[in-house]
Amino acid sequence: MKNKEIKTKGALHYYLQSTSGIVGAVLVLIMVIVAICSIFGITPYDPVEQHIDNILQGPSAHFWFGTDDFGRDVFSRTLEGMRRSLTVSITAVSLATILGVTFGILAGYVGKWFDQLVTRVSDVFFAFPAILLALAIVASLGNAWYDTALAIGVVYTPIFIRVARGPVLTVKEMDYIKISRVLGFSSFRILRKHIFPNVFAPIVVQIALSLSWAILTESGLSFLGLGTQPPTPSLGLMVSDAQPLAAFAWWTLVFPSLFITIVVVGLNLVGDGLRDALDPARRSS
């Protein structure tokens, strides 16, 4: 227990020394606060409320991000869109992590026909571009947010399988694992005590990176009309709707796009910071 606490404190210490990691954490924290404000209804207006007398008004004291072509407050809709994007992304990545890590660790540890089966199925998924596979799944399931989350989760599961399987193949051949087997330790204990701690670091980094990809994928699906449906706000859908208005109502396009950029950049910076903090080779260099 003490060794784990020391390792955790050491990783946190190195993370806090990473400028990119701190900047990323601040950006992500801001977006999370934005999403929480939307959850509790802390927005200037209802995201779907129409203000007919204020159609396509620019940013002002009353409408911080202006209004769209239906007179809806862009700021309130952007906050709600960020909440939905984070909800879908977190759900999708959680699903991909649970399935991918479980199958990846078991495939690497058990080996033989099970490893071959999991690897071949993963290769089939890798053969398709992620966005096209997600499009096909969403088109067959529906446009509800949980359908989008399921589609993205299925698409990203093979990535976690590969990330988890690789270290297991190396670790299971080490002497202390063989000794544990000789001593009669159960496979569950070996997996819990020795295997999983060795794949924890790359999994954590992959989660941060996958969250950014999932937000882009969710925004892309909504942009193409297969994600969140109007009038419900979605960052991708807002960007799509703003295309014809961009020439004379720039705020309808800029602010949703800016929020997508901030959260994606922030999550990538967090991933870089975690990679540097959790990788002993990088820390020593």
User: CATH class for domain 2-47+58-284?
Assistant: mainly alpha
3-state secondary structure of 67: strand
Mean pLDDT over residues 214-242, rounded? 88
What is d(CA 134, CA 264) in angstroms, rounded to the nearest whole number?
A: 19
What's the pLDDT at 281? 56
What's the pLDDT at 101? 92
Spell out the residues 6+ positions from residue 182 whose beta carbon is closer than 8 angstroms to its own.
Answer: none
Neighbours of 178 (CB within 10 A): 11
User: Residue 126: pLDDT band by 50, 70, 90 thresholds?
Assistant: confident
pLDDT at 132 over 90: no
Structure pTM?
A: 0.87
Where do the structural domains in the chain lie, given as residue ranges? 2-47+58-284
Please tell me what DSSP assigns to residue 73: B
pLDDT at 6 over 50: no
Greatest mean pLDDT range, 45-49, 187-191, 243-247, 257-261:
257-261
Question: Which residues is 67 bridged to in the sheet?
Answer: 73
